[in-house]
Amino acid sequence: MKSVVIVAAVLLGFVATVSLAVSDGLLDNGNFERGPNKSDLRGTEVIGRRAVPGWEISGFVEYIEAGHMQGDMLLVVPQGAFAVRLGNEASIKQTIKVTPGEFYSITFSAGRTCGQQERLNISVDGDSGVLPIQTTYSSNGWDSYAWAFKAVAAESSLRIHNPGVEDDPACGPLLDAVAIKALHPPRASNQNLLKNGDFEEGPYVFPDTPWGVLIPPITEDDHSPLPGWIVESLKAVKYVDAAHFSAPQGRRAVELLAGREGALVQITRTVPGRNYRLSFAVGDANNTCRGSMVVEAFADRSTAKVPYQSTGKGGFKRAVLEFTATGSRSRIMFFSTFYHTRNDDLSSLCGPVVDDVRVLSIHRSRRLL
């Protein structure tokens, strides 16, 4: 009887451990709606290392309410009523429970205030990346960013740090809505040699934010939050959802925001000398991004320019590029030829949407037809 009790206790312990694992969505108080006690505030400055529930802070951190005025500037909070602002060298961190060896993506919303070169350093254990936030892609001054990491321990420390050194120590980025999502990288198949060609697997998208999620360049993130793909350029691309944008197929697509500076790339296995067909959809995101667009596609040594006349109200066309593999790996790449801005907000970058990207050998492709 004693052995049965011991086994039961072990099983209960295992279940308890599993139940504590992080789930997709906001972290504990990830939207900062639970704030410090009044005794832990000096004006807007937070006093006390653990004064913000769920978080540990370091340095000059402010608790900002929507509508707060800083001089002549109105500080906007994108979700809920509260956010935090990280001053010079300030940081917040939280311990998260993850599965070692698995990949995760952090999504957070951030806005620039008075500094011109604001950036955020996000890290989990040994992984880190510095994300510049001075380029604003949305009309309200806020953007959501994704950053990925590979878990090395069951308990990991997520830290978001402002490495800036502004003349005014109160200058620094606003931070709101921090979420996590486990990534499940899809595999290539006999239906598509590309991984995640439909972009359905990707970072967490906040359901109540209509501006999508920025995917940073590989230079700022060793592990892409868009499995199978990397952003091999200077600027980000945007991950958009069908709830707020037009996606040619399924629930997700990618918007190419930054002309030739925003290139989306995947390397796929091929057989040298074999002929392949790259097919994909090009459209617009239904976000008032109008005009003559061109998506440039590259497959191994073959290229194609696909024009698309956008009315800014959604829609797409399909394109095909045939190529011959010159090696055991072929490079697939997309970027927008031109820069575009939204017609209702000339300061917000936008661009063509790419979706439903497939690579098949021409023999296989004809069999499917």
CATH number, domain with residue 322: 2.60.120.260
Tokens 């074999």 locate to 274
Residue 8 belongs to a domain: no
Sign of CA dihedral 362, 367, 368, 369: positive
Give me the pLDDT at residue 71, please. Answer: 65
| pTM score | 0.89
pLDDT under 70 in the chain at which residues? 1-21, 71-74, 115-116, 221, 364-369
Q: Which residues contact 42 (CB under 8 A, 6 or more apart)?
A: none
Domain count, the chain: 2
* 198 belongs to a structural domain: no
How many other C-beta atoms can be found within 10 angstroms of the C-beta atom of residue 103? 19
3-class DSSP assignment, residue 210? coil
In a domain, 291, yes or no: yes
The pLDDT of residue 247 is 96
The reply to whether 165 and 277 lie within a common domain is no
Question: Could you give the CA distance from residue 202 to residue 222 in angstroms, rounded to a whole number?
Answer: 15
The verdict on 166 and 297 lying in the same domain is no
Nearest to 129 by CA among 223, 201, 214: 223
Q: Which pLDDT value is given to residue 15?
A: 42
Residues 47 and 179 in one domain: yes
The SS3 call for residue 54 is coil
15 found inside a domain: no
pLDDT for the residue numbered 293: 97
Same-domain status, 306 and 347:
yes
Q: Is 346 exposed, middle or buried (0-12, 13-18, 19+ CB in 10 A)?
A: exposed
Is position 204 within any domain?
A: no
pLDDT of residue 20: 52
Predicted confidence at residue 218, as pLDDT, reads: 82
CATH (domain of 52)? 2.60.120.200
Is there a domain that residue 356 lies in? yes
Q: Are residues 138 and 235 in the same domain?
A: no
Same domain, 220 and 179: no
Same domain, 179 and 290: no
What's the confidence (pLDDT) of residue 126? 82
Residues 42, 173 within the same domain: yes
Domain that holds residue 142: 22-183
Residue 65 to residues 78, 79, 152, 173, 330, Cα–Cα distance (Å): 11, 11, 36, 14, 50
CA atoms within 13 A on the CB side of 26: 16
